[in-house]
């Protein structure tokens, strides 16, 4: 395993200078044009191109939890984890065609603002507070911790706190320039991310080919992986039969075969891509055509992401299975599948190691910047402006937004310093999915009914928030004990810790179903058409030929992938 060489540090420093310099140039141009309004700071109103929107969506989405967590899942489960990436492509089509027109027509800038427009101030305020807690405690903190941990492992250990500070400062530098700076620097971040990620995948495949005595041949390495671990290239996990190993049961608990496509997989993706300030913010300042093209461009890129974030994990599995990476897959005396990506990075040659670490850093910084900006946007527009200083000037709102960014990053540093939330123990990918999964069914239910059912009431929305969370807790923690391990609705499996669990994606689907039922019942007590219902004009959903072509290409590619790896 090679250590960092001078050229690696040089490449990394060049990356830092290029991104920072480009960000400052974008900021200077914006400042020289005297554009300093709050909407420009938070949304880059009208200034992001379709390619900048698409690149920013990917840069914000692909972070430490994808590089580290998804590669770890690739090691443990295989290609089936790519469902999160590939279903996202369809979710982005749905968001582009049906969600974004509703937001843009109603001049929606934040998700709490949509809830206020559609329901009432109570729903909006409750969810604004909730989102702030979620973004700070779960997303911002986990991105910072996982990212710093990965880079620290590559650096040989002992630098965790210094890396935490460095990542935070880099993200702060980008974020304080506003959404336009974030959006355009994300284009460079994505280029670095893709090039560095592909380099890591190439090395991973050549490591496999060398291990099997076939020289440095990436395609030979890939074919060797197909032959040596065919079960790792199946999208559908088989339902465990009596006597199944705990390993097979754990795989099904994480990715419950075809059942997840009728349950939580859609809720995860549609909630994330369509009802999430962190993501939709990139498109809310653009016109409809630009926003749609950018979102669909991101969908196309999602189809290719498993090459970067899943294949290295599968390669690490094949190497480990055949006697390689024994030391690299262990940290603190314990085996950890989340070490798969950093284990591969450790074997990169001089120069490429610097590029790949820059790619990992790009993903982390882009996500930190985007998340911090979303926290700032929700706090400033939905709490400060509405409830603290209703007469605040545009300039003051931008100042408050910047102070909020600083406060959010400082708070995440405090939480990360000694891993106060136990992210390391949970596993990065699991930590994020677990805690967002408890609230996704309720949030998605109030959005989807708010969009397309005029009878939905504010009381139903409050009911949805409470019911979604309560049902998630019930099915995730208590249902097997209360109702048994086998019912008409679910099958619970041994979790290896003395208890039984329902796959969490199935829990999400069940929670969503009961939340919808509860909201419909409550809404029937209200008027047939709620006065605050969204006005839907069918012409909003018409797509131009170029947009339709992008959609068709995406669906054809996705179909081919599922036919190949079913």
Q: Quick check: 240 pLDDT over 50?
A: yes
> For 178, phi and psi rounded to 5 degrees?
95, 175
CB 367 within 8 A of CB 60: yes
Quickly state the pLDDT bin for 561 (edges 50, 70, 90).
very high
pLDDT at 186: 73
Residues 285-312, mean pLDDT to the nearest whole number: 90
pLDDT at 346: 76
pTM of the predicted model, to two decimals? Answer: 0.84
pLDDT at 493: 92
Element (H, E) at 550: helix 545-565
Chain-centre distance for alpha carbon 288: 23
Residues 366-388, mean pLDDT to the nearest whole number: 86
What is the pLDDT of the chain when averaged over all its residues?
A: 84
Chain-centre distance for alpha carbon 111: 17
Neighbours of 225 (CB within 10 A): 23
pLDDT at 314: 92
Residue with tokens 């997840």: 260
CB 416 within 8 A of CB 138: no
> Quick one: 421 exposed, middle or buried, by C-beta within 10 A (0-12, 13-18, 19+)?
middle
- Please give the DSSP secondary-structure letter assigned to residue 566: -
* CATH numbers and ranges of domains, the chain: 6-228+277-427 (1.20.1730.10)
Instruction: Kindly report, residue by residue over 44-101, the tens digit of the pLDDT.
Output: 555 678 888 888 788 777 776 677 778 888 888 889 989 989 999 999 999 999 999 9
Q: Quick check: 499 pLDDT over 50?
A: yes
| CA-based nearest residue to 367, from 157, 115, 201, 148 | 148
Instruction: Kindly report, residue by residue over 317-366, the tens digit of the pLDDT.
Output: 999 888 877 777 776 667 777 778 878 877 878 877 787 778 778 778 87
- Give the pairing of strands 493-494 and 500-501: antiparallel
- Please give the DSSP secondary-structure letter assigned to residue 335: E
Instruction: State how far the Cα of 200 lies from the Cα of 307, in Å rounded to an integer.
Output: 10
Beta bridge partners of 491: 486
DSSP strand E in 397-482: where?
A: none
Instruction: Kindly report, residue by residue over 217-237, the tens digit of the pLDDT.
Output: 889 999 999 999 899 999 888
CB 376 within 8 A of CB 179: no
pLDDT at 148: 85
Residues 389-395, mean pLDDT to the nearest whole number: 83
Instruction: State how far the Cα of 58 lies from the Cα of 278, in Å rounded to an integer.
Output: 12
Quickly state the pLDDT bin for 302 (edges 50, 70, 90).
very high
Q: Who has greater pLDDT, 35 or 42?
A: 42
Quickly state the pLDDT bin for 31 (edges 50, 70, 90).
low
Instruction: State how far the Cα of 400 lies from the Cα of 394, in Å rounded to an integer.
Output: 10
Instruction: Kindly report, residue by residue over 421-477, the tens digit of the pLDDT.
Output: 766 655 555 666 667 778 889 999 999 999 889 999 999 999 999 999 999 999 988
What DSSP string runs through 462-493? HHHHHHHHHHHHIIIIIHHHHH-SB-SS-B-E
Residues 191-208, mean pLDDT to the nearest whole number: 87
List the Cα angle 292/293/297 in 5-degree steps.
120
Strongest mean pLDDT among 162-176, 473-487, 528-542: 473-487
Q: Quick check: 178 pLDDT over 80?
A: no
Residues 20-24, mean pLDDT to the nearest whole number: 78
Instruction: State how far the Cα of 360 lies from the Cα of 199, in Å rounded to an integer.
Output: 12
pLDDT at 443: 92
> For 324, phi and psi rounded to 5 degrees?
-100, 165
Strongest mean pLDDT among 381-395, 435-449, 477-491: 477-491
- Least confident range from 79-93, 105-119, 182-196, 366-380: namely 182-196
Q: Quick check: 279 pLDDT over 50?
A: yes
Quickly state the pLDDT bin for 35 (edges 50, 70, 90).
very low
Query: pLDDT over 90 for what percent of the chain?
Result: 30
pLDDT at 425: 57
Residue with tokens 């068709």: 552
Beta bridge partners of 319: none
What DSSP string runs through 190-209? HHHHHHHHHHHHHHHHHHHH
- Residue 129 makes CB contacts below 8 A (sequence gap 6+) with 383
Residues 275-287, mean pLDDT to the nearest whole number: 76
């Amino acid at each position: 395993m090679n250590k960092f060489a001078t050229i690696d540090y040089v490449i990394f420093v060049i990356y830092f200078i290029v991104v920072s310099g480009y960000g400052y140039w974008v900021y200077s141009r914006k400042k020289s044009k005297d554009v300093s309004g709050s909407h420009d700071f938070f949304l880059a109103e009208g200034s992001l191109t379709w390619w900048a929107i698409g690149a920013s969506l990917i840069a914000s989405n692909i972070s430490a939890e994808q590089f580290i967590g998804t590669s770890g899942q690739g090691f443990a489960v295989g290609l089936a984890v790519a469902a999160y990436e590939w279903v996202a492509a369809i979710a982005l089509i749905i968001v582009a065609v049906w969600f974004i027109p509703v937001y843009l027509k109603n001049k929606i800038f934040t998700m709490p603002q949509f809830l206020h427009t559609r329901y009432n101030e109570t729903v909006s305020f409750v969810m604004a507070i909730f989102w702030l807690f979620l973004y700070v405690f779960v997303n911002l903190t986990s991105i910072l911790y996982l990212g710093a941990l990965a880079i620290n492992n590559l650096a040989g250990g002992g630098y965790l706190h210094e890396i935490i500070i460095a990542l935070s400062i880099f993200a702060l530098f980008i974020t304080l320039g506003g959404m336009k700076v974030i959006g355009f620097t994300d284009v460079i971040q994505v280029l670095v991310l893709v090039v560095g990620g592909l380099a890591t995948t190439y090395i991973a495949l050549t490591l496999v080919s060398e291990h099997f005595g076939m020289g440095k041949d990436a395609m030979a390495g890939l074919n060797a992986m197909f032959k040596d671990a065919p079960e790792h290239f199946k999208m559908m996990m088989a339902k465990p039969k009596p006597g199944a190993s705990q390993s097979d049961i754990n795989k099904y608990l994480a990715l419950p075969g075809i059942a997840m496509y009728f349950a939580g997989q859609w809720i995860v993706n549609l909630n994330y891509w369509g009802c999430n300030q962190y993501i939709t913010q990139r498109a809310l300042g653009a016109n409809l055509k630009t926003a749609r093209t950018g979102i669909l461009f991101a969908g196309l890129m999602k189809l290719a992401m498993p090459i970067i974030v899943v294949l290295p994990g599968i390669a690490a599995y094949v190497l480990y299975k055949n006697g390689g990476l024994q030391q690299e897959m262990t940290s603190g005396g314990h085996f950890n599948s989340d070490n798969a990506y950093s284990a591969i990075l450790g074997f990169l040659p001089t120069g490429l190691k610097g590029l790949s670490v820059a790619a990992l850093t790009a993903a982390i910084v882009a996500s930190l910047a985007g998340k911090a900006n979303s926290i700032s946007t929700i706090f400033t527009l939905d709490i400060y402006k509405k409830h603290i200083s209703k007469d605040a000037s545009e300039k003051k709102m931008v100042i408050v937004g910047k102070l909020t960014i600083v406060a959010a990053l400082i708070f995440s540093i405090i939480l990360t310093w000694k891993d106060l939330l136990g992210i390391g123990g949970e596993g990065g990918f699991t930590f994020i999915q677990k805690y967002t999964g408890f609230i996704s069914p309720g949030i998605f239910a109030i959005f989807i009914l708010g969009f397309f059912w005029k009878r939905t009431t504010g009381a139903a929305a409050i009911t949805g928030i409470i019911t979604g969370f309560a049902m998630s807790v019930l099915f995730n923690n208590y249902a097997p004990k209360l109702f048994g391990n086998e019912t008409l609705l679910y099958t619970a499996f041994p979790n290896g810790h003395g208890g039984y669990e329902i796959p969490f994606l199935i829990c999400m689907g069940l929670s969503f179903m009961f939340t919808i039922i509860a909201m419909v019942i409550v809404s029937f007590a209200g008027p047939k058409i709620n006065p605050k219902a969204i006005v839907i004009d069918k012409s909003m959903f018409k797509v131009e030929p170029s947009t339709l072509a992008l959609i068709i290409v995406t669906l054809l590619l996705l179909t081919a992938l599922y036919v190949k790896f079913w």
